[in-house]
Amino acid sequence: MSNEEKEYWILWNQFYAQIGPIRFEQLLKAFGSAEKAWKAPAEQFSRIGWGPKELELLKERDNLMVGPILGAIIKYGANVITLEEETYPKNLIQIPAPPPLIYVRGELLPQDNLSLAVVGSRRATNYGKEVVRALIPDLAASGLTIISGLALGIDAEAHRAALSVGGRTIAVLACGIDQIYPPSNVSIAQEMLESGKGAIITEFPPETPTYPANFPIRNRIISGISLGTLVIEAAEGSGTFHTVASALDQGREVFAVPGSIFSPYSAGTAKLIERGAKPVTRAEDILEELQLEDQLQVRQARETLPPDPEEEKILVILGSNELHVDEIFRQSDLDTAKVSSLLTLMEMKGLVRNLGGGIYQATAYN
């Protein structure tokens, strides 16, 4: 995608409240590009079923400029990632109607695909805080990226807990990238960015206030960018259930922590468990359910053991084929003992798979 086309995606994003992901995809298909759609006369939009309200909105196009938005992006050290770019989060692209673009402060890494959303009450009790401190450090230390909304209560505790063990954490905002809400959590956001252990993302353009209607929209990103959602405390009917509903719609796992029968903030989690959410009392409950232990061990092995040019040579030889160790030895010009040692190490790193009988295959992790 050219920089010019990307700027038109950013311009269309200013109409996020009226022209969401579905309508944006519709106009891309109808006109071929965001630029062509932006420059098309209003009457052409009626042909694709846009009503009077949407057509009236198009009159504002002449009043919008991309310059101030780009200025804000530069000022806050942010980046814009569109749905068509390889760096767009892999989990998020799989949800129904993913956001066409996201604004990012900090850096999103491939390892963030192994992530868990942690949500709960803004009025976290001492019990809820203790649960966060008991579970989240272990999950973050194991390699899971912790996703939350930077809100008061459980959200803030989850971000802090991940950072406390050097883990990664991502905050999803219900406002523009130029703001931190609530302001009392600015220090958490700063630590995330300054430590290089986190990122802040939003689909809302700069200068967008934290409207109440933005939270359900934001919550679908929290659940969508994650493999599962863990609810630690929630009263019945709380906003946390927006995230749970999104997770279920997206086919994601939902976990809930049992709580005191005397606490109103545990009534929601009790209801979730009753409806089929997996109860969680230890970090392993989540890792086992999501079947992440092997993937996390592979990643840790790769990080611990530095890459070797000779390993790259073997991967090139294997390509997409299944080869016997004798053939690998023949093509590599390395001695037998060296090839055997490399293959053992590469299997530990998850780079190759031993199919038995001396046959090896490069894995999909590459």
Examine the domain organization and report whether 46 and 24 are in the same domain. yes
Give a yes or no: residue 322 inside a domain.
yes
Examine the domain organization and report whether 158 and 176 are in the same domain. yes
Mean pLDDT of 132-142: 94
Give a yes or no: residue 91 inside a domain.
no
Neighbours of 149 (CB within 10 A): 28
Give a yes or no: residue 83 inside a domain.
no
CATH number for the domain harbouring residue 336: 1.10.10.10
> How many domains does one find in the chain?
3
Is the pLDDT confidence value at 365 over 70?
no
Which range, of 55-64, 224-233, 296-305, 339-348, averages the lowest pLDDT? 296-305
Examine the domain organization and report whether 119 and 195 are in the same domain. yes
Residue 297 or 94, more confident:
94
The alpha carbon of residue 263 and the mean position of all alpha carbons in its chain are separated, in whole angstroms, by 32
Nearest alpha carbon to residue 205 among 64, 37, 55, 93: 64
pLDDT classification of 366: cutoffs 50, 70, 90:
very low
State phi, psi for 116 to the nearest 5 degrees. Answer: -135, 130
Is the pLDDT confidence value at 294 over 70?
no
For 17-36, b/e burial (b = at least 16 CB within 10 A) is eebebebbebbbebbebbbe
Cα 303 from Cα 163, distance rounded (Å) = 19
Mean pLDDT of 299-319: 74
H-assigned helices in 211-324: 214-224, 240-249, 267-274, 283-289, 293-304, 309-318
Is the pLDDT confidence value at 143 over 50?
yes
pLDDT classification of 301: cutoffs 50, 70, 90:
low
pLDDT, tens digit (0-9, with 9 covering 90-100), for 192-221: 999 999 999 999 999 999 999 999 999 999
Cα 332 from Cα 295, distance rounded (Å) = 28
The pTM for the full model equals 0.81
pLDDT, tens digit (0-9, with 9 covering 90-100), for 169-192: 999 999 999 999 999 999 999 999
Cα 344 from Cα 351, distance rounded (Å) = 10
Examine the domain organization and report whether 231 and 160 are in the same domain. yes
Neighbours of 86 (CB within 10 A): 6
Is the pLDDT confidence value at 58 over 80?
yes
Which range, of 42-56, 74-88, 164-178, averages the lowest pLDDT? 42-56
Examine the domain organization and report whether 128 and 261 are in the same domain. yes
pLDDT, tens digit (0-9, with 9 covering 90-100), for 258-276: 998 889 989 999 999 999 9
Give a yes or no: residue 170 inside a domain.
yes
Domain boundary among 295, 326, 352: 295
Examine the domain organization and report whether 176 and 288 are in the same domain. yes
Examine the domain organization and report whether 327 and 279 are in the same domain. no
Examine the domain organization and report whether 246 and 325 are in the same domain. no
Going by their DSSP bridges, the two strands 101-106 and 78-82 should be labelled as antiparallel
pLDDT classification of 292: cutoffs 50, 70, 90:
confident
Domain that holds residue 59: 3-64
Examine the domain organization and report whether 197 and 53 are in the same domain. no
Cα 245 from Cα 342, distance rounded (Å) = 47
Examine the domain organization and report whether 28 and 151 are in the same domain. no
| 182 prior amide bond cis, ω within 30 | yes
Give the DSSP letter string of 125-182: -HHHHHHHHHHHHHHHHHTPEEEE---TTHHHHHHHHHHHTT--EEEE-SS-TT--SS
Give a yes or no: residue 89 inside a domain.
no
Q: Quick one: tokens of 291?
A: 């079947």
Give a yes or no: residue 97 inside a domain.
no
Cα 289 from Cα 308, distance rounded (Å) = 33
Going from the C-alpha of 197 to that of each of 90, 109, 170, 283, 350, the distances in angstroms are 19, 10, 9, 20, 24
Cα 148 from Cα 226, distance rounded (Å) = 10
Nearest alpha carbon to residue 270 among 297, 238, 300, 242: 238
For residue 255, what are the β-bridge partners? 230, 278
Kindly give, in sequence order, each residue whose CB lies less than 8 Å from that of residue 58, ignoring residues fewer than 6 positions away.
42, 45
Q: Which residue do the tokens 């719609």 mark?
A: 249
Nearest alpha carbon to residue 185 among 165, 166, 171, 175: 171
Examine the domain organization and report whether 268 and 127 are in the same domain. yes
What SS3 state is found at 55?
helix
Q: Quick one: tokens of 301?
A: 């092995």
Which 8-state DSSP code applies to residue 143? T
Neighbours of 151 (CB within 10 A): 24
CATH number for the domain harbouring residue 225: 3.40.50.450
Domain boundary among 273, 295, 317: 295
Going by their DSSP bridges, the two strands 352-356 and 359-362 should be labelled as antiparallel
Domain boundary among 295, 327, 349: 295
Give a yes or no: residue 87 inside a domain.
no
Examine the domain organization and report whether 131 and 235 are in the same domain. yes
Q: Quick one: tokens of 202?
A: 């939003």
Give a yes or no: residue 78 inside a domain.
no
